Amino acid sequence: MAKIELTRNSFIKNILKDRRPQLAVFIVMLVGYIFAIMAGLVGTPVGSHNFSIVFVWIAWWAVLILVAVPFFGRGWCAVCPIPLPGEWLQRGAVLALPDKKPKWLNLRVPKMFRNIWLQNISFLLLALFSSVLLTTPNITGIVLAGMLFAAVGLSTVFERRAFCRYLCPVSGFIGLYSQTAPIELRIKDKQVCANCKAKPCYNGSSAGYGCPWDVFPGGLTQNTYCGLCMECIRTCPHDNIAVNIRPFSADLAKPSTRMDEAFKAFIMLGSAMIYAGVLLGPWGTLKDAAYNVGSSAWLVYALVFLTFIFAILPGFFTLGMLKTKSIVPLKKRFASLSTALIPLGLMFWVAFSLSFVLTNASYILAALSDPLGLGWNLFGTATATWQPMLTIFLAPAQTFALVGGLIWSARTTQKAAQEVKVSPIPVHVYSFVATSLMLWLLL
Amino acid sequence: MPEPTLTQPIQSTVHRTFHKMRSYLSSLLFLMTGLVVVFVPLPASTTAHQERTFQIDARQFSYFPSELNVNAGDTVTIKLVSNDVVHGLYVDAYDVSVEADPGQTATLTFIANKAGAFRFRCNVTCGAMHPFMIGKLTVGSNHWLYRSIGLAILAIMGVIVLIKRKA
Amino acid sequence: MRRAEFVSRFLILVGMALAIGAPILFWSRTPLIHVSTAEAGGWSPDTLRAKVGKPLELHLISDDVVHGFAVGQMEMEGVNVLPGKVTEVTLKFDKPGTYTFFCTRWCGVNHWRMRGTIEVSGPSSEPEPVSVPQYVTLRIDIDAPHDSPVTPENRPSAIHGQQLKATLDISKFNNSDFYRTHSPYQVFEELNSTPLTDSEKWDVVSYIWQSHTTSEALANGKKLFAQNCAACHGEGGGGNGVFADKIAQTGEVSKQTMTGSEEMQMQKPADFTNPTRMLGASPVLLQGKILRGGMGTGMPMWGSIFTEQQIWDLIAYLYSFQFEYEK
């Protein structure tokens, strides 16, 4: 299947280039985000009836993992409100074009942090506290507020969207999984970029700002770090940047060999499996351990969590590679083959999320009418009772997602194995065992 | 002279078509096997239908016992005993539920006419971890899990066989 | 572009101000009674004010688990107070005084401690007569042991007792004051002048007890027991309710001295199926225990919650753990 260039359509191109529709979406998102913070802080402490829990961990999460990431890659990042106040401060404007020197420090993020290790850590921190985070409105409110303040703070010190690129826990996995998406932003003609001296797409110009994601659009070969903010489309004087529809996981044809990304794949795979077991399983002791943060049971849980992700999962993965001799170094083989876990992990998260989203989506109706638990009934749905939805479809949908993910992952394995000249069979076995485990945990 | 050069292109076209047909047939074979794995009906259980009664103690945030096994067709009675606050018990797919206050055991009776594994969960908000207060009822066997693992085996074999052929 | 920039900034600032201000404004101006388990604070606020004849509108919301609301001494059906949802209750008072409201759905071992008061002010017609419970006027020490020296071999049958009583003169036992002030054992002793066997005497005693109540009263007592007592005393009255062990455990922490000479300790709830204890207790003694509570033993005081009739119904039901009444 060839690529279809969406920006060939002038309506689409103009919508993307025009700052105003994007800003309208931004304002709605930002107001909603702040309302979610306030709901968490002053609303009812009962999570299922608080806007912050229901709209962040059920509604937004469902849209993110079931629609935005699989079909639009970093589509959420394109509309996320977190970096906006900081970015507006940096630019000294909301809509206007750059006409003055930036007044903030605009430091370059130090080299040792220019990777996704901080994002791996921030995601794990949230994951270890997830039982409390997902169920307690004021904790969600504080975390959301914390992310907003961190983004603003980083924007006053560092250049571009430092929070998004290097710290945001969500950005870490959206970036990794965006490689599977059927949408991309790429240049049209390499020669045009080669001849372009100023590179305003990266450096900015009077027409627009340099890439906030610290990416050189001319060199984009993968979706991982492009936040789809459309700034480069506005700045490029040669109209050389396009948004395309392309086959799923086209980026995995040339697998990345970065270790931080490899471990991100294991972090996501492992946490999906642990969440499935702890949150959706029938084992009460695990839930107690996960919820009672600070207790010795929780410490054991945290240790097991981290051991599973950093030792057991990658350990077994590497075991399959140890026997085979290859001219390609082990590290490179490890990183390259671990890209097979990207579609696998994504579908693990889809299957896991389907369960609690379909079970609890009915809370959205009540939370819409009475977001703070004050007795409102804005849309007449405040008395809507909890009722699981589409339950007959849940098990088949989960099987479809997991088996589909296995096929998808296996195809990636074939390609990656070819690249590093090893047999794909050990990874096939690994993916099959992991999938069977996840099927057992969820079904 | 013209003969050898004519047969070679024809031979490779025949080869390619033959390989394409083989790979289509293989894909079809995998697909049919997959459909069989999903849809083949299980032999009907021969165990007589029994009346099964369970006492389930509910506390924040788990059930004890949290896993039940019955045979398809059994009449299942669950006596829900709440140990701390008001809890409920809702059975997925059966869409039946009951709620119990501490000191007032509540009874739920239903016929387990659907086979498979079903989660039961608390349907009365009982504290923070309420959405994750879950147990599991297995009626007969968890046949869908076995079918799914069967599909997974088929899937991985399919990829190995079919993709290899393309290379 | 300057106007667009200005409008945009304005919209953003207004939007953010609304998103921050509106929740705070509405939250601070919505009068709610927040309800949580006793350990987490109970009723907040827990004292309310009202005026005679003026409806009192209450908005209740639970912050954790399912609770209920009712006002004591009114035989009021509990109104459910659900987590995260606001429930409206409107009350109207005819007489001034201090009313107690309480939680009606078990929410933990300290559920019964969830109580608050409503001060109702207004012109009072005449002073309320102070009713002193009979155990006080009769000087019964309700904390002293009340074991019955004799217990029946089999469960006494009221039906059999009814057949036997035809041969006896039990008119004095028909007096309700007599019934209330005597324990089953004492009535058993009174029957010693008759030629009945011990077993037959107990049957007569159980018939006498049944004659002082009705099936409606027993049904009411059963309902009250299930809703208020079973969680500690057990659904079968055996002192083995779901909270029985927790009460005994917390006994280590709370000890209260009474009259300087006795220490009351948190203990396992009474076993109503134990004939030694039950048959030695008169209704008035049981009424005293229910009214006053256990003075640090973990037994709640129900004086401000149950009406007198409710307590007699409950007591009649308690004896049905000992006696076989006709259905």
CA dihedral defined by A76, A78, A82, A86, rounded to 10 degrees? 170
Q: Which of C83, C84, C243 sits opposite B102 (nearest CB)?
A: C243
Confidence label for B17 from pLDDT (cuts 50, 70 and 90)? confident
The model's pTM: 0.93
pLDDT of A415 > 90? The answer is: no
For position B164, what pLDDT does the model report?
Answer: 67
Q: Is C230 in CB contact (< 8 Å) with chain B?
A: yes
Q: What is the DSSP string of C201-268?
A: HHHHHHHHHHHTS-HHHHHHHHHHHHHHTHHHH-TTSSS--TTHHHHHHHTTT-EEEETTTEEEE--P
Confidence label for C258 from pLDDT (cuts 50, 70 and 90)? very low
Give CA–CA dist A290/A368, Å, rounded: 29
Give CA–CA dist C120/C72, Å, rounded: 14
B102: chain C residues, CB-CB within 8 Å? 106, 111, 231, 241-243
Question: What are the strands of the beta sheet with C86-91, ordered from one edge?
Answer: C43-44, C33-35, C56-62, C86-91
pLDDT digits (tens, 9 = 90+) for A176-214: 999 999 999 999 999 999 999 999 999 999 989 999 999
Q: Which residue of B has its CA nearest to A137?
A: B128
Give CA–CA dist A388/C18, Å, rounded: 34
For position C297, what pLDDT does the model report?
Answer: 80
Contact indicator for B27, B98 with CB cutoff of 8 Å: no
Closest chain C C-alpha to A102 CA, distance in angstroms = 17
Please, what is the average pLDDT of chain B?
Answer: 89
Give CA–CA dist B92/A355, Å, rounded: 11
Q: Which residue of B has its CA nearest to A437?
A: B149
Give CA–CA dist B20/B18, Å, rounded: 5
Q: Is B76 in CB contact (< 8 Å) with chain C?
A: no
Give CA–CA dist A15/C92, Å, rounded: 62
Give CA–CA dist A289/A278, Å, rounded: 9
> Per the CB < 8 Å rule, is B85 touching C37?
yes
Q: Which residue of B has its CA nearest to A399?
A: B148
C83: chain B residues, CB-CB within 8 Å? 125
Chains B and C form CB pairs within 8 A to the count of 55
Q: Burial-class residue B95 by CB neighbours within 10 Å (0-12, 13-18, 19+).
A: exposed
Q: Which residues pair with B63 in a beta bridge?
A: B58
Q: Is B67 in CB contact (< 8 Å) with chain C?
A: no
For position C260, what pLDDT does the model report?
Answer: 42
Tokens describing residue A98: 């750059």
For the segment A47-57, the average pLDDT, to the nearest whole number, is 97
Burial A320-340 (b: 16+ CB within 10 A, else e): bbeeeeeeeeeeebbbbbbbb
Residue C67 host element (H or E): strand C67-71
Q: Which residue of A has its CA nearest to B127?
A: A46
Instruction: Write the single-letter amino acid at A406.
Output: L
Chains that touch A (3 or more CB pairs under 8 A): B, C
Q: Which of A95, A374, A383 sits opposite C5 (nearest CB)?
A: A95
Q: Which of A31, A38, A95 sits opposite C15 (nearest CB)?
A: A31
Tokens describing residue B16: 């390619």
Token match 């309800």: residue? C35
In chain C, the percentage of residues whose pLDDT exceeds 70 is 94
Chains that touch B (3 or more CB pairs under 8 A): A, C
Compare B82 and C250 and report the one with higher pLDDT. Answer: B82
Q: Which of C66, C230, C232 sits opposite B124 (nearest CB)?
A: C66
CA dihedral defined by A259, A264, A267, A268, rounded to 10 degrees? -150
Number of residues written out for chain C = 327
Confidence label for B8 from pLDDT (cuts 50, 70 and 90)? low
pLDDT of C254 > 60? The answer is: no
Give CA–CA dist B134/B67, Å, rounded: 9
Instruction: Write the single-letter amino acid at A61.
Output: W
> Per the CB < 8 Å rule, is A374 touching C8?
no
C84: chain B residues, CB-CB within 8 Å? 125
Task: Give the ipTM of the model, two decimals please.
Answer: 0.92
In chain C, the percentage of residues whose pLDDT exceeds 90 is 74
For the segment C211-226, the average pLDDT, to the nearest whole number, is 96
Closest chain A C-alpha to C223 CA, distance in angstroms = 28
Confidence label for B4 from pLDDT (cuts 50, 70 and 90)? low
Contact indicator for C185, C319 with CB cutoff of 8 Å: no
> Per the CB < 8 Å rule, is B63 touching A48?
no
For position C124, what pLDDT does the model report?
Answer: 74
Q: Is B86 in CB contact (< 8 Å) with chain C?
A: yes
pLDDT digits (tens, 9 = 90+) for C91-135: 999 989 999 999 999 999 999 999 999 999 988 767 677 788 999
pLDDT of C229 > 70? The answer is: yes
Q: Which one of A408, A425, A435, A441 makes the best mutation probe of the B interface by having the most chain B beta carbons within 10 Å?
A: A435
The overall longest dimension of chain A from CA atoms, in Å, is: 68
Closest chain A C-alpha to C251 CA, distance in angstroms = 25
Q: Is B148 in CB contact (< 8 Å) with chain A?
A: yes
Give CA–CA dist C81/A40, Å, rounded: 21
Q: What is the DSSP string of C22-45?
A: HHHHHHHHS--EEE--GGGTSEES
Residues of A (104-163) whose Cβ lies below 8 Å from C: none
For position A262, what pLDDT does the model report?
Answer: 96
Q: Is B29 in CB contact (< 8 Å) with chain A?
A: no
Compare C258 and A416 and report the one with higher pLDDT. Answer: A416
Q: Is B87 in CB contact (< 8 Å) with chain A?
A: no
Give the residue from C236, C231, C246 showing the smallest Cα distance to C317: C236
pLDDT of B3 > 80? The answer is: no
B51-143 belongs to CATH 3.30.300.30: no
Q: Which residue of B has its CA nearest to A435?
A: B152
Q: Is A373 in CB contact (< 8 Å) with chain C?
A: yes
Q: Which of C83, C229, C242 sits opposite B81 (nearest CB)?
A: C242
Domain boundaries, chain B: 7-41+146-166, 51-143
> Per the CB < 8 Å rule, is B85 touching C66?
yes
